[in-house]
Amino acid sequence: MIVGAGFGGIAAAIELRDHGFQDITILDRAPGLGGTWLHNSYPGSACDVPSHLYSFSFAQRRDWSRLCSPQDEILDYLHGVARDHGIDRLVVPGSTVTATTWDDEARRWTVTTEEGPAYEADAVILATGQLHQPAFPRIEGSDSFEGHRFHSARWDHDYDLRGKRVAVIGTGASAVQFVPEIAKEVARLTVFQRSGNWFLPRKNRPYPPPIKALIQHVPGLQALRRKRVYYTGELLTTGIRHTRSVGRLLALWSRAFMRAQLKDPDVRRQATPDYTFGCKRVLFSSAFLPALQRDNVELVTDAVTGLAPTGVVTADGTLHEVDCVIYGTGFRTNDFMFPMQVTGAGGRELKDEWAAGAHAHLGIAVPGFPSMFVMYGPNTNTSGGSIIVYLEAQARYIRQALAQVRNRRAQAIDVRPEVETASDREVQSRFAGTAWTACDSWYRTDDGRIVANWPGYMREYEARTRALDPAHFEFIAAAAATTSEPEPTTRSQPHA
């Protein structure tokens, strides 16, 4: 049973099908597959990682329209890949998983949905990711606001922004994509920034026909470009890991780029970040900073203290009158799959296990939760690379785990607690001295523990997940092992 039909869930399903696991169901609460690329349909929504790396290694396309593809193209791609591998038929949309519970006697999982059906499964893959629950900051008086409001991840396409006075709260990776787009059509745009960002250039114009032809027809060119982007991502990670050397050089580049873009001295002062390069996500945009300097756009850096019936109130007491508030305030990243109730062996609750911050072996396996796997789990986010690389690595690792179960005629696999503790300790120790520890961000819990990011390079994560070591795991025999030995599968049968 796979929960989540985004890139992660699709990657896992393909990997498992390719290795003989046939009985797979993918549940997703959305009306279709696509995950983040279904939900984030805001104007300008696109990937900021070049598409030849932000795509499966086994399903490379040569006809992307530009370097970083727009949302609809990525969604089409994912549909196409799922169709080509017969995975689209496995998706049960409109299925909101509320609980997944390990039965110590039956030694299987029961997956319960809000809509009614429950499923039994030998293995559960939670591929809900880190970025799927929109975060609405607690702002006093929010309910008193009489205008319209929505979150960037649930864009209201029925609301016509043309000619409106609009507030945008937040200036993260999503806002920097939609602000330049909506700035062209709204009457007035007020952008509320809590922290400045480090920017690097990204023009992302459609490929001219000769470039398209080269990519299409020159053998190996696409693979070469993929490799180049891969190592550019690794360089960014080097900058984050080594703040005084490579990090300083990248910061200089960013500063020079931002200076060139920010002609207005006031906006320049306001938009310039005051924290170490790479501590928060570095933003790739050549359009956002110019948009801030449009006549109809104002950047406000006073803290938002409340909403009033007619607008947004800031710490200096100003009421900024607007018709609409758009929250570009990101996601409840530390919640991972919660509020889903995840109950493992002996009735232990994942919520309790993770009370001091989420942790899992390689971000995938949690002791006491047999044959449960997390994709894009704790400490597997990347600040300098493509999450698809990580998801493919996780899919391979999970497939190896289930193959071990199958080959040993066992029922389930459970990571040894001491293995998980040691790997978590090592992961956490590797953050010391890196940019990630230099400021608050969505990568961290309130206590400062970094739970989102992998502390190293893509190539390290790939290497560590390449070959599963069975000695890291305990194998659980089937409940009726003494009398019969049924072959384990990822069976997922509705039983309601």
Structure tokens at 397: 């690792």
Identify which of residues 344 and 384 has a Cβ nearer to ligand NAP in the complex. Answer: 384
Identify which of residues 28 and 48 has a Cβ nearer to ligand NAP in the complex. Answer: 48
The nearest distance, CB 118 to ligand NAP, in angstroms, is: 32
Q: How many CA atoms lie within 13 A of 468 on its CB side?
A: 25
The nearest distance, CB 5 to ligand NAP, in angstroms, is: 18
The nearest distance, CB 233 to ligand NAP, in angstroms, is: 12
Q: How many CB atoms lie within 10 A of CB 20?
A: 11
Residues in contact with ligand NAP by the rule CB under 6 A: 46-49, 131, 137, 169-175, 177, 192, 194-195, 280-281, 304, 328-331, 442
The nearest distance, CB 22 to ligand NAP, in angstroms, is: 33
The nearest distance, CB 329 to ligand NAP, in angstroms, is: 4
Identify which of residues 153 and 365 has a Cβ nearer to ligand NAP in the complex. Answer: 153
Contact 178, 71 (CB under 8 A): no
The nearest distance, CB 192 to ligand NAP, in angstroms, is: 6
* b/e code 138-161 from CB counts within 10 Å (16+ = b): ebeeeeebebebbbbbebeeeeeb
CB burial class (10 A; 0-12, 13-18, 19+) of residue 269?
Answer: exposed
Task: Report the relative pairing of strands 324-327 and 341-343 from DSSP bridges.
Answer: unpaired
Identify which of residues 369 and 442 has a Cβ nearer to ligand NAP in the complex. Answer: 442
Structure tokens at 187: 């009457």
| Cβ partners under 8 Å of residue 273, min gap 6 | 195, 196, 197, 198
The nearest distance, CB 442 to ligand NAP, in angstroms, is: 5
Identify which of residues 154 and 294 has a Cβ nearer to ligand NAP in the complex. Answer: 154
Identify which of residues 174 and 411 has a Cβ nearer to ligand NAP in the complex. Answer: 174
The nearest distance, CB 70 to ligand NAP, in angstroms, is: 10
| The amino acid at 78 | L
Q: Give the residue nearest to ligand NAP (CB).
A: 172
- Rounded distance between C-alpha atoms, residue 376 and residue 127, angstroms: 7
Identify which of residues 192 and 336 has a Cβ nearer to ligand NAP in the complex. Answer: 192
| Cβ partners under 8 Å of residue 295, min gap 6 | none
Contact 453, 376 (CB under 8 A): no
Contact 290, 183 (CB under 8 A): no
Identify which of residues 90 and 169 has a Cβ nearer to ligand NAP in the complex. Answer: 169
